[in-house]
Each structure stands twice: as structure tokens, then as C-alpha cells.
Amino acid sequence: MKKLVEEVCQFREERDWEQYHSPKNLVMALMVECAELAEHFQWLTQEESRNLPAEKKEAVREEIGDVLVYLVNLSERLGIDLLEAAWEKIGKNRRKYPADKTRGKAKKYNEYE
Ligand SMILES: [Mg+2]
């Protein structure tokens, strides 16, 4: 991850793009990339979304890369350790959604008894 953060920073600096990479702009760019990713799944059935043709899967792979790069860029600009944030969130979700109460159920945490 450290190497990826360094590469993203170097790419940005070599192009003098720091001036455009405010957190607001990076969030917007991230959302655009998420939409590009979602577009590949729009109108597919559940089954089709599980069995993407190779060409479509490659396009999805590229968009996933775009999403991660913007997420790395955003978190770096905000001084947030991306992996630490993800690990913390997984821990919170484990407490919020205890497996014995939530197994096999797709409800929000406040809808469980
Ligand atoms: Mg893209």
C-alpha cells in the first residue's frame, strides 16, 4: 500500500495536479469512477453480474483500479491511513452485525432484534 500511495503522489506531482486535487474534487472524481463501475452492471441480471464475459470483466477491472487510485489519492490528501481505516471499519461492522444475529439476513443493523 505504501508503494501505491507513493506512486499516486509521484504521478500527481509530476503533472503539477495537486492544485486540482482538493478533497472536494477528489470525492467527485471518485464518485464518477464509481458510476463508471456501476454502469457495467446496469441492467444485468444477478446471474449475468456473476458471470461477466472476459471483455466486460477487463473493463470492470480497470474501473476498480480507477476507484482505488482516487480513494488512495483522497485518503492521502486528508492524511488518513486507508488500510487502518478499513481495518477499523471491519472491526466496527463485526460488533454492529454479530454473526449469530445476522447470519443469512440482509437487514440494517437497527432492524435486528
Ligand atoms: Mg474510469
CA of 45 to the centre of ligand 1 (A): 23
CA of 42 to the centre of ligand 1 (A): 15
Domain 2-80 has CATH 1.10.287.1080: yes
Cβ atoms of 73 and 8 within 8 Å: the answer is yes
Please report the DSSP string for 40-82 in residue order: TTTT--HHHHHS--HHHHHHHHHHHHHHHHHHHHHHHHTT--H
CA of 63 to the centre of ligand 1 (A): 5
CA of 69 to the centre of ligand 1 (A): 10
pLDDT tens per residue across span 86-106: 999 999 999 999 999 888 888
CA of 91 to the centre of ligand 1 (A): 30
Query: From first to last of its 113 residues, what are the pLDDT tens digits of the chain?
Result: 999 999 999 999 999 999 999 999 999 999 999 999 999 999 999 999 999 999 999 999 999 999 999 999 999 999 999 999 999 999 999 999 999 988 888 887 778 76
CA of 62 to the centre of ligand 1 (A): 7
CA of 48 to the centre of ligand 1 (A): 21
Residue 67 three-state SS? helix
